[in-house]
Amino acid sequence: MSVAVRCLIISVIFSVFMQGCQSAAYGPWPRETMPGTLREYACRYTKEKPSLDGSLQDSVWQHAPWSEPFVDIEGSQKPAPAQITWMKMLWDEKYLYVAALLMETDVWATYDKRDMVVFHENDFEVFIDPDGDGQSYYEIEVNAKGTIFDLYLHKPYRDGGPAMPEWNCTGLDGSVQVQGTLNDPSDVDTSWSVEMAIPWQCLVPPENAPKDSTQAQGAGHSPWVGDTWRMNFSRVQWQLLKTASGYTKEPGTKEANWVWTPQWVIDMHRPETWGRVHFTK
């Protein structure tokens, strides 16, 4: 058998293997085949606080189920994302704990100051609408350097709601770990992971925020067991070119948006399409 024939056979076998892996990883999307259907997640109560080192290896996370892999923001009518993303959550009386694992061959991030618009690079995003009214909600973004961009919206952009980037999620804690080398195009990375603790106390509309620290206690509160909040998670991913010093965005290309629950349009700011998070004991 010639070398060429052997290479062809190996190539075919590898292609079939990768297709099988992708099918196993993503599987059918029965709940996302039609607009209006939503994903749901049972967020479990924890008595133990995660380490918040970004590794996701501490035992407390073993009690939290992974979400389904993220899909394209426009749903199953679009191809599956090129790289897999999962999230998981826990909660206690003080915090909502969010973890995410983003498979990534080229980990890239340069923004390093709070409230820089990190979705202009690759990032992971959390959207929270506590009362599910589809109006006021919170957004927290983080890149692979651990830079935070957080903001509050009185209502979605399409309804004329201006963003308030001056809002900060006070007390937000967490970390990022890179499984590979940040901003190094000479190697192939594996993934990057996010771990954050979002204080319930910070989830207060700015107009209702306490005026000083003496009023802070009880300003925001944890959900009750059985409560359901509307939430979504997004990953912004840009096409990159490798350079001598790192990476740059490929000219003329748009970002990909990979999400937990699809929006069916390229617009994360449609809270009525976000998933349902059920707080359990």
Give CA angle at 184 (180, 185), nearest 5°: 110
pLDDT score of 4 more than 90? no
Residue 80 token pair: 């599956």
Distance separating alpha carbons of residues 49 and 197, to the nearest angstrom: 9
Contact 231, 128 (CB under 8 A): yes
- Tell me which of 253 and 221 has the higher pLDDT: 253
Among 18-22, 222-226, 230-234, the least confident range: 18-22
The CATH classification of domain 42-280, taken from the options 2.60.40.1190, 3.40.50.300, 3.30.70.270, 3.20.20.100: 2.60.40.1190
- State mean pLDDT over 141-156: 96
Domain ranges for the chain, please list them. Answer: 42-280
> Where residue 31 falls among pLDDT bands split at 50, 70, 90?
very low
Q: Is it the case that residue 201 has pLDDT exceeding 80?
A: yes
What is the model's pLDDT at position 209?
Answer: 59
Mean pLDDT to the nearest integer, 67-91: 94
Q: What is the DSSP string of 207-238?
A: GGS-SSGGG-TTSS-PPPTT-EEEEEEEEEE-
Structure-block tokens of residue 266: 């390229």
pLDDT at residue 259, rounded to an integer: 97
8 Å CB contact between 80 and 265? no
Q: Which DSSP state fits 68? A: P
Number of neighbouring beta carbons within 10 Å of residue 205: 15
Q: What one-character-per-residue DSSP string does 45-107 give?
A: E-SS----SS---SGGGGGSPPPPPPEETTGGGSPPPSS-EEEEEEE-SSEEEEEEEEE-SS-
Q: Average the pLDDT over 255-263 and give the result.
A: 96
Residue 187's CB is within 10 A of a number of other CB atoms, namely: 10
Inter-residue contact 88 to 99 (CB < 8 Å)? yes
pTM for this model (two decimals)? 0.85
pLDDT tens per residue across span 5-24: 444 443 433 343 333 433 33
pLDDT surpassing 80 at residue 34:
no
Average pLDDT over residues 176-200: 97
The span from the first CA to the last CA of the chain, in angstroms, equals 62
pLDDT digits (tens, 9 = 90+) for 111-124: 999 999 999 999 99
Q: Is 160 helix (H, G, I), strand (E, B) or coil?
A: coil
What's the average model confidence in pLDDT over 212-226? 63
pLDDT of residue 76: 81
Instruction: In whole angstroms, give the CA distance from residue 270 to residue 204.
Output: 20
What the block records as the tokens of 17 is 């293997």
Tokens of 108: 């890239």
Q: In this structure, are strands 275-280 and 40-45 parallel, antiparallel, or unpaired? A: parallel
